[in-house]
């Protein structure tokens, strides 16, 4: 073991080898080696010491000792032996100590055994104590339980008394409601049918038609013995007073139609499309969704797609306003709700991207068009709702405006009261619902929920306060209503005027009797004896029936007699009055027509008002100039005139957005626009602007009044000469004549020229200059005057030789020395007045007839027939077109319009002959001689009649399917339905056939032609 010590490891192999070489190792080495053997537990041979004991012991010298110590390997061995010796010495001291430790441990073990016995005894004692404590605690707990049960029973008794007292007032109401609910459950199927049908189909119709549909559904349901509520009210079925009150505060009118529209818009599965020309629906939606951070956009917005995607993914309401009759195809998947479910997420395709659908997303679409025509596909995707203002709704709105102007504090009090009443009613409803929810959600006894009594007490206290407020509010409301009703007649009158103005576009109808057809005079004062006592209206009806060319003149007489003469004349346009009615955000839009350009009048008005006028003629590249002038006039003031705005439609959208976005304008800022009619003109500008037209007035009287309306007294007195005023009048008369001749078409001018006010102004200016420069002693240079008027001022527009000759003839006839004679006249009853003041000229012109005889234009009396007939025909066609097309039954309970057309179509299908079999036709024509001219004619006619029969049969079959609801009634089928009902030949049929006055005559002719061609083909006779 000692070899394993550090000293042992220091002994190397050559040390042992050197020791073996020693024959007689020194004694010190031997001792060391013996000690090593002892350590190794080896046997040691006895060492014999052969020396004399008497001799002194040899003590090695220090040198010898050092030499021995330096012996290789001996030092380490000696150190190890020294350590062993030290260990032995220490161990002699430690062993006694160990013995004492052993004795102490033995004592400790004895003491531990005693301690364990004592602890066991203590544990037994503690167990007994714990048992006693447990018994004590159990007894105390039992006592506490009994006490708690006692307290709980007392509290339950008190709570029961409180609940009985609190719910006593609800018992009667709940019992009554329970009976109503039981009845509702019995009649749920019928009510549900009516409600779902109402939400699906009634949106596009007015109030009367909706009620008629509901009545018809109730009749059909009753015939099938399906129970439904006796006093069925669609509003009560789908809404409550509190919600309606909130809608009213948000701007929805309080009439039944508007409330029904609100129900359809918020309850329908399909997204709503609001026909909203008065913008009341859009205003309501904005207010209703304001707290939900509604996004408002248009299809023309540059950010439309981004706003659409954000609204869908973030769940924000989106309002797309001012749409036209077509919707952006990007909405197709959204409107049809073609959602794709991926995991728990719904996605929809928007263009070429898929967007996550948030369940709170809502879409609203509005249009300003009063009578749009949407395709059946669009109607199937959205819920079309007619939000056109009703008479009752408009009346309430006008009443509020009147009160706001006359008694503003009363209107404010009414609005505040309505808001508080709605809030209180909503609170009462919520309290009732919370109490019922609390009662129905309790598991076990109602007395087990300690919060129920608190809720009941709180509800009772709040309900009492709210009912008191509602009662006080009702009293106050009655007082306010009484005060408001004093102003009701004003609102009623305004509402009536509005709807009358909406309806006066209707004009009058229809044919003539042959007895009066050839009569020259258009005067109906001398009628046949049977009709002498007719009043003006009946005379008008008589004229409408017997002579279409006299319809307009008799309509004018009727208007004069009913409303006054001023309503039968076109009023003279006053741009100054129009300007005074406008403001900075309201544009003034002039509609251009042939021979009418208001530019000169606008320039004159700007000069009169001393306002700068900037004119931009729109066209390619003019947007930059228009944009600069617009910003300049907004900031510095002035007028901006955009001529021919229809040539810059792209810029008009930017122009409108600029006006809407600008808040600060110079007070003198105005925008004038002139445009021709264009189907793509922005509807926003049309509806927000003041429209006027400067088209030439109809009739010589109106033309002269308009011309002299632009003249002042200073102009009449411009030159103190006898020639000036007659020449001015003659020029004005000529101006009216050349403009009025255009209405006769080619009879008037071979080419319709756009004569306008500038031609008259240039002619008058030349006359002024000529009279100024003329020597008083000399006569007027008629040749030069006639040349300038007939070949330069007016003649400069004329390109046809015969028209130029006509213009020269007018000048020769009216511009000569006879003009100043007392016998001069343009035609019988049309001479030059010998007056000086402007009002005298106007009075003289007012005496002219409203109906100009064609002879005044140099035409034959029959020239007016074509013009008047065409004009009457155009109006009659418009009358037929705008007739309401209702599909429901009439008032007398007869067949519906659709049923009548369905029966007519079925009757025509039965009578309609079969189509020709083509291969049989070819064989028979071959036998008859295919190259024979008459056979060629027969082949062409058979092909034509066969094509018409096929078109008619397909149209009638599709029409019946559409009426039955199997296919969609598209525009073509709707036109065929209207034509058959009106007895007219559908346009789709006349496109491939012949003209006829009525559908009956046309169909009879179709059968006759078929019979003729069939006999010719089969029997050789015709």
The DSSP letter of residue 48 is P
Is residue 798 a contact partner of residue 807, using CB atoms and an 8 Å limit? yes
The residue among 242, 668, 294 whose CA lies nearest residue 422 is 242
Phi/psi at 64 (nearest 5 deg)?
Answer: -65, -40
Q: What is the CA radius of gyration of the chain?
A: 56
CA–CA distance, 19 with 34 (Å, rounded to integer) = 13
Is residue 299 a contact partner of residue 394, using CB atoms and an 8 Å limit? no
- C-alpha count within 13 angstroms, C-beta hemisphere, residue 212: 14
Structure tokens, 703: 């033309």
3-state DSSP call for residue 341? Answer: strand
- 921 Cβ neighbours under 8 A, 6+ residues apart: 939, 942, 1017
Helix axes 188-201, 74-186, angle to 10 degrees: 100
**pLDDT value at position 506?**
33
HEC states along 444-455? CCHHHCHHHHHH
**pLDDT value at position 679?**
80
Structure tokens, 379: 């109607």
**pLDDT value at position 496?**
83
CA dist 672 → 88, 404, 408, 572, 641 (Å)? 130, 32, 35, 19, 5
**pLDDT value at position 594?**
64
CA–CA distance, 262 with 238 (Å, rounded to integer) = 11
**pLDDT value at position 786?**
86
Torsion of CA 495, 499, 501, 506, to 10 degrees: -170
**pLDDT value at position 890?**
47
Query: With left for phi above 0 and alpha for psi between -120 and 50, is residue 281 left, alpha or beta?
Result: alpha
Tokens 């997303």 -> residue: 361
Structure tokens, 396: 């309430």
3-state DSSP call for residue 232? Answer: coil
**pLDDT value at position 684?**
84
3-state DSSP call for residue 642? Answer: strand
The DSSP letter of residue 647 is G
- 425 Cβ neighbours under 8 A, 6+ residues apart: 241, 242, 245, 470
Block means of pLDDT (10 residues each) for the chain, 1022 residues, are: 52 66 70 68 54 47 55 60 76 82 87 87 87 87 84 74 66 70 79 89 88 90 86 81 80 84 89 88 90 89 89 92 89 89 87 88 90 86 88 78 75 72 71 69 63 67 69 71 78 81 44 48 55 74 73 79 77 78 86 74 83 88 87 88 87 86 86 86 85 75 81 80 86 86 83 82 86 78 86 86 89 86 83 85 83 81 77 72 56 67 91 89 85 87 92 92 86 86 87 85 91 86 64
3-state DSSP call for residue 969? Answer: coil
The residue among 790, 778, 658 whose CA lies nearest residue 731 is 790
CA–CA distance, 414 with 545 (Å, rounded to integer) = 55
CA–CA distance, 354 with 350 (Å, rounded to integer) = 6
Is residue 330 a contact partner of residue 351, using CB atoms and an 8 Å limit? yes
3-state DSSP call for residue 823? Answer: coil
3-state DSSP call for residue 914? Answer: coil
**pLDDT value at position 2?**
47
Structure tokens, 865: 């027939």
CA–CA distance, 236 with 244 (Å, rounded to integer) = 10
Q: What is the DSSP string of 711-769?
A: --HHHHTSS-STTHHHHHHHHHHHHHHHHHGGGGGGGT-SS-----HHHHHHHHHHHHH
Q: What is the DSSP string of 952-1009?
A: HHHHHHHHHHHHTTSS---HHHHHHHHHHHHT---HHHHTTS---SSHHHHHHHHHHH
- 898 Cβ neighbours under 8 A, 6+ residues apart: 887, 963, 977
426-462: burial string, b at 16+ Cβ within 10 Å, e else: bbbeebeeebeebbeeeeeeebebeebbebbeebbee
Determine the length of the chain: 1022
Tokens 């060492």 -> residue: 47
**pLDDT value at position 951?**
93
Tokens 């004619």 -> residue: 937
Structure tokens, 394: 């408009």
Is residue 256 a contact partner of residue 433, using CB atoms and an 8 Å limit? no
CB atoms within 10 A of CB 538: 13
What do you get for the CA distance between the two ends of the chain, in Å?
150
The DSSP letter of residue 292 is G
Pairing between β-strand 345-350 and β-strand 318-320 as defined by DSSP bridges: unpaired
CA–CA distance, 719 with 333 (Å, rounded to integer) = 75
Q: Helix count (H) and strand count (E) of the chain?
A: 39, 15
CA–CA distance, 272 with 286 (Å, rounded to integer) = 14
Structure tokens, 96: 């006694």
**Which element (helix H / strand E) includes 250?**
none
Structure tokens, 711: 């003249």
The DSSP letter of residue 1020 is S
The DSSP letter of residue 205 is S
The residue among 229, 149, 138 whose CA lies nearest residue 192 is 229
Is residue 311 a contact partner of residue 364, using CB atoms and an 8 Å limit? no
- Alpha helix ranges (H) inside 508-646: 536-546, 551-563, 575-581, 599-609, 623-636
Pairing between β-strand 353-357 and β-strand 345-350 as defined by DSSP bridges: antiparallel
**Which element (helix H / strand E) includes 19?**
helix 13-20
Tokens 């306003």 -> residue: 321
**pLDDT value at position 530?**
55
Biggest CA pair distance of the chain: 205
CA–CA distance, 351 with 330 (Å, rounded to integer) = 5
Is residue 261 a contact partner of residue 202, using CB atoms and an 8 Å limit? no
């Amino acid at each position: 073991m000692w070899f394993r010590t550090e000293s042992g490891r220091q002994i190397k192999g050559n040390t042992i080898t050197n020791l073996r070489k020693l024959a007689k190792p020194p004694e010190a080495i031997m001792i060391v080696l013996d000690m090593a053997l002892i350590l190794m537990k080896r046997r040691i041979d006895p060492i014999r010491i052969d020396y004399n004991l008497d001799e002194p012991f040899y003590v090695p010298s220090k040198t010898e000792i050092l030499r021995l110590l330096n012996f290789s390997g001996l030092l380490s061995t000696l150190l190890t032996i020294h350590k062993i010796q030290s260990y032995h010495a220490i161990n002699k001291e430690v062993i006694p100590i160990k013995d004492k430790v052993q004795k102490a441990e033995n004592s400790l073990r004895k003491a531990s055994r005693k301690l364990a016995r004592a602890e066991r005894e203590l544990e037994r004692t503690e167990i007994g104590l714990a048992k006693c404590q447990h018994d004590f605690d159990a007894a105390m707990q039992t006592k506490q339980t009994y006490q708690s049960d006692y307290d709980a029973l007392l509290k339950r008794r008190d709570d029961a008394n409180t609940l009985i007292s609190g719910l006593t007032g609800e018992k009667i109401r709940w019992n009554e409601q329970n009976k109503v609910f039981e009845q509702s459950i019995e009649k749920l199927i019928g009510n549900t049918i009516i409600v779902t049908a109402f939400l699906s189909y009634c949106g596009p119709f007015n109030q009367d038609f909706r009620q008629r549909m509901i009545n018809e559904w109730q009749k059909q349901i009753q015939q099938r013995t399906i129970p439904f509520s006796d006093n069925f009210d669609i509003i009560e079925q789908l809404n409550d007073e509190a919600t309606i009150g909130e809608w009213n505060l948000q701007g929805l009118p309080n009439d039944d139609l508007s409330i029904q529209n609100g129900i359809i818009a918020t309850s329908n599965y399909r997204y709503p499309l609001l026909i909203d020309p008065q913008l009341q629906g859009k205003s309501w939606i904005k207010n209703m969704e304001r707290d939900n951070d509604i996004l408002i956009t248009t299809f023309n917005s540059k950010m439309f797609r981004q706003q659409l995607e954000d609204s869908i993914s973030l769940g924000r309401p989106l309002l797309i306003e001012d749409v036209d009759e077509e919707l952006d195809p990007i909405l197709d998947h959204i409107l049809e709700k073609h959602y794709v479910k991926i995991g728990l997420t719904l996605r929809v395709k928007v263009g070429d991207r898929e967007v996550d659908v948030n369940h709170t997303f809502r879409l609203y679409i509005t249009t300003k068009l009063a009578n749009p025509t949407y395709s059946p596909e669009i109607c199937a995707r959205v819920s079309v709702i007619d939000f056109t203002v009703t008479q009752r709704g408009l009346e309430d709105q006008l009443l509020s405006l009147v009160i706001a102007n006359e008694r503003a504090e009363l209107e404010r009090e009414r609005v505040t009261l309505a808001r508080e009443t709605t809030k209180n009613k909503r609170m009462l409803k919520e309290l009732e619902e919370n109490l019922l929810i609390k009662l129905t959600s309790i598991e076990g006894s109602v007395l087990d929920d300690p919060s129920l009594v608190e809720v009941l007490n709180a509800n009772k206290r709040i309900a009492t306060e709210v009912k008191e407020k509602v009662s006080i509010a009702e009293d106050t409301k009655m007082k306010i209503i009484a005060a408001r009703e004093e102003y009701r007649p004003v609102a009623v009158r305004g509402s009536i005027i509005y709807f009358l103005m909406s309806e006066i576009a209707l004009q009058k109808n229809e044919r003539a009797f042959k007895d009066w057809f050839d009569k020259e005079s258009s005067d109906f004062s001398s009628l046949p004896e049977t009709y002498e006592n007719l009043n003006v209206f009946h005379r008008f009806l008589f004229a409408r029936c017997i002579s279409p060319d006299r319809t307009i003149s008799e309509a004018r007489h009727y208007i004069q007699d009913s409303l006054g003469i001023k309503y039968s004349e076109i009023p003279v346009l006053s741009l100054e009055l129009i300007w005074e009615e406008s403001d900075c955000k309201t544009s003034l839009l002039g509609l251009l027509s042939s021979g009418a350009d208001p530019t000169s009048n606008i320039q004159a008005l700007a000069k009169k008002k001393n306002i700068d006028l900037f004119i931009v003629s729109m066209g390619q590249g003019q947007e930059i100039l228009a944009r600069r002038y617009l910003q300049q006039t907004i900031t510095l003031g002035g007028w901006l005139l955009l001529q021919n705005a229809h040539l810059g439609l792209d810029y008009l959208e930017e122009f409108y957005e600029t006006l809407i976005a600008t808040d600060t304008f110079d007070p003198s800022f105005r925008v004038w626009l002139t445009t021709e009619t264009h189907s793509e003109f922005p509807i926003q500008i049309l509806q927000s602007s003041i429209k006027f037209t400067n088209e030439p007035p109809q009739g010589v009287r109106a033309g002269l009044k308009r011309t002299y309306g632009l003249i002042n007294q200073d102009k009449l007195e411009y030159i103190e000469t006898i020639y000036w005023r007659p020449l001015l009048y003659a020029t004005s008369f000529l101006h009216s004549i050349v403009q009025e001749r255009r209405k006769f078409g080619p009879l008037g001018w071979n080419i319709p020229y756009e004569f306008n006010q500038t031609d008259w102004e240039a002619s008058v200016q030349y006359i002024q200059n000529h009279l100024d420069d003329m020597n008083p002693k000399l006569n007027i240079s008629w040749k030069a005057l006639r040349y300038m008027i007939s070949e330069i001022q007016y003649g400069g527009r004329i390109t046809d030789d015969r028209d130029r000759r006509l213009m020269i003839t007018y000048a020769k006839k009216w511009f000569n020395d006879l003009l100043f004679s007392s016998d001069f006249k343009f035609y019988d009853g049309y001479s030059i007045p010998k007056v000086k003041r402007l009002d005298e000229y106007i009075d003289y012109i007012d005496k002219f007839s409203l109906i100009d005889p064609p002879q005044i234009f140099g035409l034959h009396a029959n020239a007016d027939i074509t013009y008047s007939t065409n004009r009457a025909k155009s109006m009659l066609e418009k009358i037929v077109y705008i007739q309401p097309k209702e599909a429901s039954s009439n008032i007398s309970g007869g067949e519906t319009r659709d049923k009548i057309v369905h029966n007519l179509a079925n009757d025509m299908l039965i009578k309609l002959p079969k189509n020709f079999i083509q291969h049989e036709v070819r064989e028979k024509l071959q036998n008859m001689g295919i190259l024979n001219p008459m056979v060629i004619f027969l082949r062409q006619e058979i092909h034509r009649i066969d094509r018409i029969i096929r078109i008619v049969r397909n149209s009638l079959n599709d029409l019946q399917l559409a009426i039955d609801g199997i296919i969609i009634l598209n525009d073509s089928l709707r036109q065929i339905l209207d034509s058959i009902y009106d007895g007219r030949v559908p346009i789709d049929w006349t496109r491939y056939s012949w003209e006829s006055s009525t559908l009956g005559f046309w169909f009879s002719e179709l059968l006759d032609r078929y019979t003729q061609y069939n006999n010719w083909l089969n029997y050789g006779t015709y």
